[in-house]
Amino acid sequence: MTSREQVSRTLQQHGALMVLALLVLVGSLAFDSFSRFDNAASVVVSSSFLAIIAIGMTFVIISGGIDLSVGSLFVLGGVLAAYGSQYGLLVALVLPLAACGLVGLLQGVIIARTGMAPFIVTLAGLLGVRGLMLALSDEGATTYLVKDPAFAALGQGQILGLTYPVYITIGLALAAMVLLQRTGFGQNVYAIGGNQQAAALMGVPVASTKIRVYVMSALLAGLAGALNAARLSSGVTILGIGLELDVIAAVVIGGTLLTGGAGGITGTVAGVLLLGVIQSLINQVGNLTSAFQQVVSGLFLALVVVAQRLLSKAQRLS
Amino acid sequence: MEPVLEAKGISKRFPGVLALDGVSLALHPGEVHALVGENGAGKSTLIKVFTGVYHPDGGELLHQGRPAVFGTPMDAQHAGISTIYQEVNLVPMMSVARNLLLGREPRGRFGVIDAGAMYEEAGRVLAGYGVETDVRRPLRDLGIGAQQMVALARAVSVDARVVIMDEPTSSLEPREVGTLFGVIRRLRDSGIAVMYVSHRLDELYQVCDRVTVLRDGRLAHTGQLAELERLQLISLMLGRDLGEVRGSGMTKFSRDRHLAAGTSVDQQAEPVVEARGLTRRHVLDGVDVSVRPGEVVGLGGLLGAGRTETAKAIVGAMPIDGGQVIVGGLPLRGGSTKAAIRAGVSLLPEDRKAEGIIPTLSVRENIALAALPSLGTAGVVSDTKIDRVVEIFMRRLRIKAASPNQLVSELSGGNQQKVLLARWLAVRPKVLLLDEPTRGIDVGAKAEVQALIDELAAEGLGVLLISSDLEELVEGADRILVLREGAVVGELSGDDVTEERIMATIAEQADG
């Protein structure tokens, strides 16, 4: 492998991580408060929910698909968890997972069996689930409060100054890495995204793999919503609008190709943290409103996509 | 010995075409069986029946003596039938090892894939196929030949009893071809049946034991390859009986052009188009072609000899590695069909549906399309000018349509072809390249198109005619260049323009 190839490949896979390290370094030097533990902890904690959803999205995008319903499912999961918490911890977890899993199954079956475009199917899911959530909460007028202390502790309890969701995210990310890199299922996801027709000819169960990917994405979105409800002690209905786009942005910034077939969990986690750090840095600057965070994230995303295009061209030439 | 796979009287019908008509073929363990035939002979259809992609409308498929129905390609694979397609069907972005072993990766503890063992096994397997590479790299880093070997290794390692290879050598280097033949012989010796589809006769004679020739969906011949002379094989493929070739012409060319005295060709005239040394790796190997005003030059050769590619290279529709095209004394900018059209060189492509007509547009729009730049002022197109041009050509070419506004997709194949001819004539070309202009159109329309080619040449248009119909070629062309494996291997003119001479030229040994 030539050194040029090596460089372009490393950039593709670990570019987000490298930029993240650079930004953290710059931030630490520029702002005293940036590197303080409570600031770092708040970035990590608030990123963890996005990260959980992004793990599922990584599988979806590598398989060549897209899942627009995760923002709505995140909210639905939160509302159902808060509602279910009056019946105890178990219901507070099972209810959102069951509901979201079902939506994911439905979307997955439609996409895999009819060959309809994932964009359209999950857009329908986004709208449908949002409507369902509004109906459950009387158009947002009713906010369910988390009644069960054990469930609330799941979102608020701390070890070493970091809340439980951070550890849950780390655990899920590690499991997802093994699943993606070291199991037949993971290989099938790459193969389908890389060349679906070839995958089918190589004996990959295309339909069932796709269904599993969408179920997983929906389950993780629901879980993130439930954990968020536990953290906030209520099922807030106004969050989560447009969240799917942040998730997709994080995954793509992390080096996963939107066209499918390549990518990974490490990059996604780096991408999520990168978005969090950009937000935090803009808060430090002070006189910039947080709206600028989106401008910067958008610019960064554009940069990454252009860079990916150039890198893959460079790889093909060499 | 009992055949491992046998087709008995297989028929397959597509709308308007009987692609296979009662074809029988038996594949025995330990034989390499060549399947040959020209375009539309039914080879691909038969392969797809064997591999479960198509389901036959009639006849029976026997697998190890028992009737078998392959519902999907997976069913066929489970029955031990592996196929290596012309285009490599693997996942380019995944590593070589993962491509090779997908679905059969060595497992370590907890059923998790053992990456180390996987890379080791992949390296060992591929070494047996002459592929020495870092198996961790993405597949797309390998050359096409090595990718093909990976596909082959994968197909064979899935416990194959039958391996079907569709043009496996079309993008291989000679050294890789040697390796491939070694692998094929090894497979044969271990009792696997190999079906080998290729147009390269030299290769067939090197590696195949038996041969089946298909023509127009029917079985033309099956038997030992060694007992069949090259010339016989070619005449079987092209459907021209050596003895009866001389007969009254069936085509509608006004006369055998090459025999007629006083055709409009001025042998001293400067060529309207001259291609020199057209070269593209694996495809063209230094092809020289020139066409004079009023001359019809035929390109002969078997499928895959580089006829279509020559035409595409001339108009810049296919990138070339070397050579140039000269029109009116000036070299043409390569890779630009726009430049070619502007210089007066137009191509009527072979695949009318995919590369020619735009089915959602009307007859009028289809005709005017290429000529639009010349039909207006300052980029604004004049409707009156279009109407005039469309009317002239619809009348001149006798295009049968309800009105110029009828959708072109509603016309018959012959009329669609005339619409395309009109499109290119409307830009007033100096030379027209016609790739299989009469394929798939009915007899009447065929005669009209042939007569038209004659007329156009008489008016001074240069024509490059590609046709698999030998009769059409012989009667339509003044001069014929015979191509084989991307190179011109013979030029026939005058009395030499006969079907026998063409076939004999194709049959000559590459080294002879």
- Looking at domain A16-317, its CATH architecture is Orthogonal Bundle (1.10)
| Helices A265-285 and A243-253: angle between axes, nearest 10 degrees | 110
pLDDT at B103: 82
* Residues in B touching A312 (Cβ below 8 Å): none
Query: Cβ of B140 and A1 within 8 Å?
Result: no
Distance CA B314, CA B316 (A): 6
What pLDDT is attached to residue B6? 93
Q: Does A175 touch chain B (CB under 8 A)?
A: no
How buried is B407 (Cβ within 10 angstroms: 0-12 exposed, 13-18 middle, 19+ buried)?
middle
| Residue pLDDT tens, chain B, 512 long | 789 999 999 999 887 678 899 999 999 999 999 999 876 788 888 998 998 888 999 999 999 889 988 888 778 888 889 888 777 788 988 999 999 998 888 888 788 889 899 999 999 999 888 788 889 988 988 877 788 888 888 888 777 899 999 888 877 777 788 888 988 998 899 899 999 998 788 889 999 999 999 988 899 999 999 988 888 888 888 877 655 544 444 565 665 665 554 455 666 778 889 999 999 988 899 999 999 999 999 998 887 788 989 999 999 888 888 899 998 888 888 778 888 888 889 998 887 777 788 888 899 989 988 888 777 777 777 888 888 889 988 888 888 888 889 888 888 778 888 898 899 888 888 999 999 888 777 767 778 888 888 888 888 899 999 988 888 888 889 999 999 888 999 999 888 888 888 888 888 865 44
Do residue A194 and residue B92 have CB atoms under 8 angstroms apart?
yes
- Give B83→chain A minimum CA distance, Å: 9
Chain B contacts of A194, Cβ < 8 Å?
91-94
**Cβ pair A169, A52 in contact under 8 A:** yes
Provide, as residue numbers in chain A, all residues whose Cβ is less than 8 Å from the Cβ of B94: 187, 190-191, 194, 261
Residue B151's closest chain A neighbor by CA?
Answer: A202
* Number of Cβ atoms within 10 Å of the Cβ of A205: 18
Residue of A nearest to B134 (CA): A1
B90 and A202 in contact by Cβ < 8 A? yes
Q: Quote the CA–CA distance of B500 and B262 in Å, as a whole number.
A: 25
Compute the nearest-CA separation of B132 from chain A (Å): 14
Q: Check: CB of residue B254 under 8 Å from CB of residue B54.
A: no
Q: Which of A157-171, A202-216, B50-64, B495-509 has the lowest mean pLDDT?
A: B495-509
Full domain range(s) for residue B303: 248-344+429-512
Note the pLDDT of residue A117: 94
Residue B411 sits in the same domain as residue B433: no
User: Does B147 share its domain with B296?
Assistant: no
Q: Which residues of B touch A197 (CB under 8 A)?
A: 89
**Closest among B417, B423, B456 to B440, alpha carbons compared:** B417
Does residue A183 sit at the B interface (CB-CB below 8 Å)? yes
Structural domains of chain B, count: 3
In terms of CA atoms, which chain A residue is nearest residue B89? A198
**How many CB pairs lie under 8 A apart between chains A and B?**
62
B207, amino acid identity: V
**Does residue B286 share a domain with residue B188?**
no
The answer to whether B105 contacts A184, with C-beta atoms less than 8 Å apart, is yes
Decide if A189 touches B, using CB distance below 8 A.
Answer: no
* Distance between CA atoms of residues B140 and B119, nearest Å: 17
Domain membership of residue B232 (yes or no) is yes
Q: Do A203 and B111 touch (CB under 8 A)?
A: no
Distance from CA of A318 to the nearest CA of B (A): 9
DSSP state of B382: P
B106 CB neighbours in chain A (<8 A) are none
Do the chains contact at B90 and A187, CB–CB below 8 Å? no
Residue A195 at interface with chain B, using a CB cutoff of 8 Å: yes
pLDDT tens, position by position, A9-33: 777 777 788 888 888 888 888 887 7
Min Cα separation B110/chain A (Å) = 10
Q: How many angstroms separate the CA atoms of B213 and B234, rounded?
A: 10
Q: State whether B103 and A204 contact (CB < 8 Å).
A: yes
Q: Using a CB-CB distance cutoff of 8 angstroms, which residues of chain A are in contact with residue B137?
A: 1
3-state secondary structure string across B238-296: HCCCCCCCCCCCCCCCCCCCCCCCCCCCCCCCCCCEEEEEEEECCCEEEEEEEECCCCE
DSSP string across B312-355: HHHTTSS--SEEEEEETTEEPPTT-HHHHHHHTEEEE-S-IIII
The DSSP 8-state label assigned to residue B35 in this structure reads E
Cα separation, B155 vs B84, in Å, equals 7
Tell me how far apart the alpha carbons of residues A47 and B59 are, in angstroms, rounded to a whole number.
63
Instruction: With beta carbons under 8 A apart, name residues in chain B contacting A183.
Output: 111-113
Chain A contact set for B152 (CB, 8 A): none
Q: Which two tokens stand for residue A1?
A: 């492998």
Q: What is the pLDDT of residue A4?
A: 66
pLDDT of residue A315: 60
Chain A residue closest in CA terms to B118: A182
Q: What is the ipTM of this complex?
A: 0.80
B300 lies in the same domain as B401:
no
B96 CB neighbours in chain A (<8 A) are none
Q: Is A187 on the interface with B (CB under 8 A)?
A: yes
Least confident interval from A60-74, A108-122, A255-269, B495-509? B495-509
Domain ranges of chain A: 16-317
Q: Is A317 on the interface with B (CB under 8 A)?
A: no
**Residues ≥6 apart with Cβ < 8 Å to A179:** A185, A186
Q: What is the mean pLDDT of residues A165-184?
A: 94
Query: For residue A208, which of A104, A98, A101, A112 has the smallest C-alpha distance?
Result: A112
Locate the chain B residue with the closest alpha carbon to A179: B112
- The distance of A178 to chain B (nearest Cα, Å) reads 8
Facing B137 at nearest CB: one of A1, A200, A204 = A1
Kindly report the CATH number assigned to the domain that includes residue B120: 3.40.50.300
Distance from CA of B484 to the nearest CA of A (A): 31
pLDDT at A185: 93
> Largest Cα–Cα distance of chain B, in whole Å?
85
Coil/strand/helix, residue B157: helix
Interface check for A158 against chain B (CB to CB < 8 A): the answer is: no
State how beta strands B58-63 and B66-67 pair: antiparallel
Give residue-wise pLDDT tens across range A79-123.
999 999 989 899 999 999 999 999 999 999 999 999 899 999 999
Residue B171 C-alpha, separation from nearest chain A C-alpha, in angstroms: 18
Residue of A190, A192, A201 for testing the chain B interface, max B β-carbons within 10 Å: A201
Closest to A194 (Cβ–Cβ): which among B93, B111, B158? B93
Q: Which residues in chain A touch residue B103, judged by CB atoms under 8 angstroms apart? A: 184, 187, 202-204
- Chain B CB within 8 Å of residue A278 CB: no
Asked if B313 and B419 sit in the same domain, the reply is no
Apex CA B477: angle with CA B453 and CA B231, to 5°?
135
Q: Kindly state whether A1 is in contact with chain B, defined as any CB-CB distance less than 8 angstroms.
A: yes
Same-domain status, B165 and B313: no
B27/B164 Cα distance (integer angstroms): 10
Residue A50 has pLDDT above 60, yes or no: yes
Within 8 A of B74 by CB-CB distance, chain A residues are 203
Same domain, B440 and B381: no
In chain A, which residue's Cα lies nearest the Cα of B110? Answer: A183
Residue with tokens 């449908």: A128
Segment among A187-196, A269-278, A292-301, B105-114 with least mean pLDDT: A292-301
Helix (H, G, I), strand (E, B) or coil at B435: strand
Q: With respect to residue B275, please indicate whether it lies within any of the assigned structural domains.
A: yes
Determine whether the interchain pair A182/B112 forms a contact, defined as Cβ–Cβ distance below 8 Å: yes
Q: Specify whether B105 is located in the same domain as B40.
A: yes
Do B307 and B379 sit in the same domain of this protein? no
Give the pLDDT confidence score for residue B245 in this predicted structure: 45
Closest-CA residue of B relative to A318 is B141
- Cβ A1–B105 below 8 Å, yes or no? no
Q: Are strands B462-466 and B431-435 parallel, antiparallel or unpaired?
A: parallel
Taking CA atoms, what residue in A is nearest to B97? A187
For residue B82, the chain A residues in CB contact (below 8 A) are: none
